Amino acid sequence: MLEGLTTDDLLMGLAVVAVLIPLAIWGLRKYQTLMADGKLSLGEVLDAVEEGVEKVEQAKEDVEEIIEEAKEKKQDDNKD
């Protein structure tokens, strides 16, 4: 199942997971905060969504950067 995967591929996967885990933790904490009083207002939801969009966009940029660096490294390795 893991045939053909290189160490670099696995490291890239771990880097992506390292970017996404804090996002998931933030989401869980945000949910707990919103649900702490048992009431949920539309304003709270909209604020959380706006904040979440910013977090997801940052995570997307980080993942894209990791992928781009991996592609560049692979191209450099192929030149050698």
Q: Which pLDDT belongs to residue 32?
A: 94
Task: Specify the pTM.
Answer: 0.73
Question: What percentage of the chain has pLDDT greater than the value 70?
Answer: 96
Q: Which pLDDT belongs to residue 3?
A: 81
- For residue range 42-67, list pLDDT tens digits in order: 999 999 999 999 999 999 999 999 99
Counting other chains too, the contacts that 18-24 makes at CB distance below 8 Å and 24 or more residues apart are: 19/59, 19/62, 19/63, 19/66, 20/59, 20/63, 23/55, 23/56, 23/59
Q: Which pLDDT belongs to residue 9?
A: 83
Which tokens go with 66?
A: 């990791």
Residue 11's alpha-carbon distances to 24, 46, 66, in angstroms, are 20, 36, 10
